[in-house]
Amino acid sequence: MSETEKYMQQFEKELELERPLARPNSSAYLIPLDEGLTMSVNLLPFGFFLLSEFADAPKENEEVLYTEMLSANLFGQGTKGATLGLNERGNLLTISQVVDYNIEYRDFKELIDDFVNMIDFWQSQSHSKAMK
């Protein structure tokens, strides 16, 4: 069992969920965040990959949001090391992060927390830009 899998089991226990986290396959966990919003923790041979499709891609005035996203991606300053982008079909905004090095459980939890905070922040940014 990988370190990340052990961390996910511990994380699940701490969340005190009524039922275990969904696992679409043996190497992924889905963490529900909001109605219709999830993040996945995908186990890698060494480390893990976080991903969330958090908002519809803008259909008009997208330049403003995409410019902000590009600036945020620069050196990871506006994303705490994660990367903003689009899904394969180009219709959803995504945030992802690869961790391919050893970390302690405390750092794992902190990283998950930061990732969720970035989802919340960029989801609100995308909605506010769409309203303009």
pTM value? 0.92
Mean pLDDT by groups of 10 residues along the chain of 132 residues: 92 91 95 93 95 94 92 92 97 97 95 96 85 58
The token pair at 23 is: 């696992």
Task: Please report the pLDDT score of residue 69 as a whole number.
Answer: 96
Task: Please report the pLDDT score of residue 66 as a whole number.
Answer: 94
Instruction: Give the domains, in start order, of the chain with CATH numbers.
Output: 3-131 (3.30.1460.10)
**What per-residue string of b and e applies to 85-116 under the rule 16 or more CB within 10 Å gives b?**
eeeeeeeebbbbbebeeebeeeebeebbebbb
DSSP lists the bridge partners of residue 7 as none
Strands of the 92-99 sheet, one edge to the other:
28-34, 37-44, 47-56, 92-99, 83-86
